[in-house]
Amino acid sequence: MPDPEFMRRAVEISREKMEANMGGPFGAVIVRDGKIIAEGFNMVTTANDPTAHAEVVAIRAACTKIGDFSLLGCEIYTSCEPCPLCLAAIFWARIDRIYYANTRIDAAEIGFDDEILYQEISKPLEERQLPIHRLELAEARKVFDDWLLKDDRTEY
């Protein structure tokens, strides 16, 4: 069951950091067992990191705090529907559930439009705007093959 207080905190962070000119108007909290274990806010411009979205920042903080790359058993509350970058990070982190406030349409209306990403991801590689080419190397395949043979690998 979603808890509006966690969403209020995500929204509060988005406002605080926006008003302090620390990034765009986005905040996120990660919750486990009814407690906030990490918070994040948009740090793209302050960290000069285009991947420092609120959800990604919160995921990094949560993983550091618990000492694991898996956030199974966690939920994320975010002030806006996750963009494709954040959605992928949430999937990779294995977060159980997403709650969001503003929609991606709302975000587009204030200048944060990710529609090109949604369109591009569904296109065949050769039709995308950003040129993408395969450069096949036997050495690259060998690393993958060796991964499968590695007895002490950490599965994820």
Pairing of strands 74-80, 97-102: parallel
Cα dihedral 26, 15, 30, 120, rounded to 10, equals -10
Question: Quick check: 14 and 37 in contact, CB under 8 A?
Answer: no
* Residue whose tokens read 């977060």: 95
55 is catalytic: yes
Report the 10 Å Cβ neighbour count for 92.
13
Question: Quick check: 80 and 58 in contact, CB under 8 A?
Answer: no
What's 81's DSSP letter?
P
Catalytic annotation, pick one of 12, 16, 19, 55: 55
Identify which of 120, 116, 111 has the alpha carbon closest to the alpha carbon of residue 42.
111
Active site residues: 55
